[in-house]
Each structure stands twice: as C-alpha cells, then as structure tokens.
C-alpha cells in the first residue's frame, strides 16, 4: 500500500483548482478518475469524471529474446485503457499511474508515448483509484462522479404505439395495463455527488385490500452501466439485460400503516394506494439505501461499492 511519505510526495505540489487523473491498472481490473483540488487546508478533492471500473483481463506478456512480448488481446486492452484516460484528461496535466508487473510496465510506456507533455507519476501499489486519496487522507474526497446508474424496477404504463415497448405483453393491473421490468434510475452515471447528499424519488404500490401481509414487501436495488438499456432491466422473457447488476434488497414491513392507505377507484372497483420514497446516500466507499413512508425509514447495512465492480421489484 502507498505509505504516508509517498502520499506527501504526491500531494506537495497540489494547488487549488489543479486537476489530475488517477489510473489504477490491476492485473484484472482498471479504474480511471479525474479529480481537482477543492482546498488545501484542509486538503479536499472533488471527482469531476470517472469511468466504470472494467475487467480488462490479465495485463501480462511472455518473454521472448529477453523482452516482454504482449499478445494481441493485451495490446487491444491497452488501447482501450488509453482511450479511457484520453476521454477524461480534459485540462489535467498530471497522471498518477498505480500498478506494477511486466504488462503494466508496457502500458506505462504506452501512456508516456501517447500523452507527451503530461506529467506521469508511477506508484507501484495496488489501490483502487479512490483509495489512493481516501485511505491515506481520510475524508479528503468530498465529491464523486458516479460511474454507474443506481435505481429500481418499476411497472410502466402500456402504450402499444411506443416503439420501446418492443412487443412486450401488458398485464391488467388495478390501475390499468402495465408492463413489468421497467428501469427507474434514482442516481444517474457521471452525476457528481456532493459529500453525503441524499437523493430521493417517489414511488407507489397498489393493493386490492388492506391485508397487512401485503404491506410487507422488498425493493431490489440495481446498478446499470452507461450503455445499459434506458427503459428495461430485463428482456421480454425476464432475463436480466446486459449491463445491469442486482445489488441488494431493502425489506420493509409497513403493515401498521394499513389504515393510512389512500382509497382509489378505477371504473368499477376500489383499490388502495401506498406512496413511499426510495432514498440513496453515497459516501466514499458505500451506498446507503432506504424505503421511507410516513416518516418511517427502512434500510439495510451499507453496501460497499467496490462489490459492484465500480455502487425491482415494486409490483402493482
């Protein structure tokens, strides 16, 4: 791990407003993030942009005539990493390269060739990009650019004229024809989050009766890469679409609120509606999510975003 003396060496030339990029190139994953210095005393950083951590395969090579020769697949992966760095460099003039090994030595050589005029500093340690800043200057990162979207599954109103319905079959529900497996992001990728700012979105569930057991339900939180489907978590057959990851469930017991349900009417029959909010709060390494209803809050232990490679069901 990077030690405090190395951290001091890295940070001694930092000034307010200075931008820098950190590339963490491990043996399996890479992570790229753009930061700028928010203040010097106390030392604080803001993340301006980031890329979803990606699996790049083993960044290795083979020895031939006493030289490291990279296979074509590794060369292609190096090109992808360079493209990721280029996409967020912007005005930054410093790149911190975290990683070691022969394959990464070749990647570092390639970076120096592609980014002439950029100061590239190599750190031979394996840390997540945020860890370089967070773990050795705890609390320094005060804002983050979210690499993925985070949200839940919803039921969408059916409209046969909308192309994005994609031949899906509607279900006759209490409040009309609906289609399941819709995607509702609460926090979108590359949205810059300040500290522990709360992000909320309102949702509702419909019930045919006031049966208390119906008010015991769970909501599953998903993440989605920037290229994931904008409308649907699952395909027509209920299979999770590419780019989506199921993270965890929030369980809520709202049975004591049965007398607070709102009575609604369709053309012939009454039904009951429950309004609630989903709250998401991010810190440097965790996602906190809660269901909030009538000032009651139901949550689960903080989810470590590193488990997401990076950070449902509400039924009618």
- Per-residue tokens: 132: 């370089």
Distance CA 7, CA 1 (A): 11
Question: CA 152, 158, 293: angle at the middle one, nearest 5?
Answer: 35
Distance CA 217, CA 215 (A): 6
DSSP state of 170: P
3-state SS of 194-223 is ECCCEEEEEEEEEECCCCHHHHEEEEEEEE
Q: Under CATH, which number does the domain 149-308 receive? A: 2.60.34
Per-residue pLDDT of the chain (316 residues; tens, 9 = 90+): 445 555 566 666 678 888 888 887 765 556 777 887 877 776 677 777 655 444 333 333 333 334 444 566 677 778 888 888 888 887 788 888 876 655 677 788 888 888 888 888 877 554 444 444 443 444 455 566 677 899 999 999 999 888 888 889 999 887 788 999 999 999 888 677 666 678 899 998 888 888 888 888 889 999 998 889 999 999 988 999 999 999 999 988 888 888 888 888 876 778 888 889 999 987 666 788 999 988 888 887 777 765 554 432 222 2
- Measured in whole angstroms, how far is the alpha carbon of residue 270 from the centre of its chain? 40
- Per-residue tokens: 223: 């993440």
How many other β-carbons are positioned within 10 Å of the β-carbon of residue 207?
Answer: 17
Whether the CB-CB separation of 155 and 110 falls below 8 Å is answered with: no
Whether the CB-CB separation of 200 and 185 falls below 8 Å is answered with: no
Domain borders along the chain are 4-145, 149-308
Whether the CB-CB separation of 255 and 217 falls below 8 Å is answered with: no
Entry pTM = 0.64
- Per-residue tokens: 145: 């650019």
How many other β-carbons are positioned within 10 Å of the β-carbon of residue 97?
Answer: 21
- Measured in whole angstroms, how far is the alpha carbon of residue 264 from the centre of its chain? 37
Superfamily of domain covering 4-145: eRF1 domain 2 (3.30.420.60)
Distance CA 85, CA 19 (A): 13
With a CB cutoff of 8 Å and minimum separation 6, the contacts of 84 are 30, 32, 51, 54
Element (H, E) at 280: strand 270-282
């Amino acid at each position: 791990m990077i030690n405090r003396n190395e951290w001091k060496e890295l940070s001694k030339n930092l000034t307010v407003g200075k931008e820098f990029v950190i590339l963490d190139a491990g043996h399996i994953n890479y992570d790229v993030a753009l930061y700028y210095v928010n203040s010097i005393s106390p030392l604080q950083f803001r993340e301006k942009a980031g890329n979803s951590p990606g699996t790049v395969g083993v960044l290795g090579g083979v020895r031939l005539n006493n030289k490291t020769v990279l296979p074509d697949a590794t060369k292609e992966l190096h090109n992808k990493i360079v493209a990721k760095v280029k996409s967020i460099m912007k005005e930054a003039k410093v790149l911190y390269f975290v990683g070691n090994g022969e394959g990464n030595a070749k990647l570092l050589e390639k970076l120096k060739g592609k980014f002439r005029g950029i100061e590239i500093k190599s750190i031979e340690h394996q840390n997540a990009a945020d860890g370089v800043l967070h773990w050795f200057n705890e609390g320094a990162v005060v804002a983050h650019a979210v690499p993925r979207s985070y949200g839940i599954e919803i039921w969408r109103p059916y409209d046969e004229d909308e192309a994005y319905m994609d031949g899906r079959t509607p279900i006759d529900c209490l409040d009309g024809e609906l289609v399941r497996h819709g995607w509702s992001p609460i926090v979108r990728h590359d949205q810059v989050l300040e500290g522990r700012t709360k992000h909320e979105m309102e949702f509702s569930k419909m019930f045919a009766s006031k049966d208390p057991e119906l008010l015991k339900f769970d909501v599953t939180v998903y993440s989605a890469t920037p290229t994931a489907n904008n409308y649907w978590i699952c395909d027509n057959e209920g299979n999770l679409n590419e780019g989506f990851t199921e993270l965890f469930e929030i369980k809520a017991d709202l049975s004591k609120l049965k007398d607070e349900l709102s009575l609604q009417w369709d053309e012939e029959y009454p039904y009951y509606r429950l309004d609630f909010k989903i709250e998401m709060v991010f810190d440097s390494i965790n996602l906190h999510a809660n269901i909030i209803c009538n000032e009651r809050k139901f949550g689960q232990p903080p989810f470590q975003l590193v488990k997401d490679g990076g950070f449902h069901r509400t039924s009618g």
